[in-house]
Amino acid sequence: MKMPQREAERFISDLQDHIESVTTFYVSQDELRDIIRGLRADGHVDLPDLENAS
């Protein structure tokens, strides 16, 4: 799923906020990008394509 760069940044920020609100873990935005990149490589194409955000 392609999305504009600004929307991709907001997605990562919102995801980070959500994780921190429901757990005691801190996950950096870089780590979240790596996780999403790995999931997309495994075939989860319904996740945003952060590499090619426009």
Comparing C-alpha atoms, which of 21, 9, 20 is closest to residue 36?
9
Q: What is the pLDDT of residue 7?
A: 86
Q: How far is Cα 9 from Cα 33, in angstroms, rounded to an integer?
A: 10
The predicted pLDDT at position 53 comes to: 67
Per-residue pLDDT in tens (0 to 9) along the chain, 54 residues = 677 888 888 988 999 999 989 988 888 989 998 988 888 888 887 777 777 766
Q: What pLDDT shows up at residue 21?
A: 92
**Measured distance CA(28)–CA(38) in Å, rounded:** 15
